[in-house]
Amino acid sequence: MVTSFAVKHVNLADAKARFSEIVDRVEAGQTVVITRRGARVARLVPATVEKTPIDPVLFEALDRVIPMQQENAGEFVRKMRDGARY
């Protein structure tokens, strides 16, 4: 895994040949600039996950409507596992 987080410049031919490596670098947090004939044409940056805040009123309403399970999780998984064996 790449630990350097500096901006890396790569020409288009190298980007095509080493695309997986470039994606690994971006995934690790590095920004990669792709150039064509020395001019910048694209910049790859790590994706950000957009988080939506939880609406507490809606959460409480759902909590009141959804029924509690009658069996515990261990029993539920055991039944699923045993039922799918044969």
Tens-place pLDDT, residues 48-61 = 877 888 899 999 99
Whole-number pLDDT of residue 68: 86
Q: What is the pTM of this model?
A: 0.50
Give the residue numbers spanning the domain of 29: 8-44
Task: Decide if 71 is inside a domain.
Answer: no
CATH number at residue 17: 3.40.1620.10
* Residue 27 resides in a domain: yes
Tokens of 17: 């040949």
Is residue 84 assigned to a domain? no
Q: Is 36 within a domain?
A: yes
Number of domains in the chain: 1
State what percent of residues in the chain have pLDDT above 90: 58
For residue 22, tell me if it sits in a domain.
yes
Cα dist. 45→25, 49, 52, 53 in Å?
Answer: 9, 13, 21, 24
Does any domain span residue 68? no
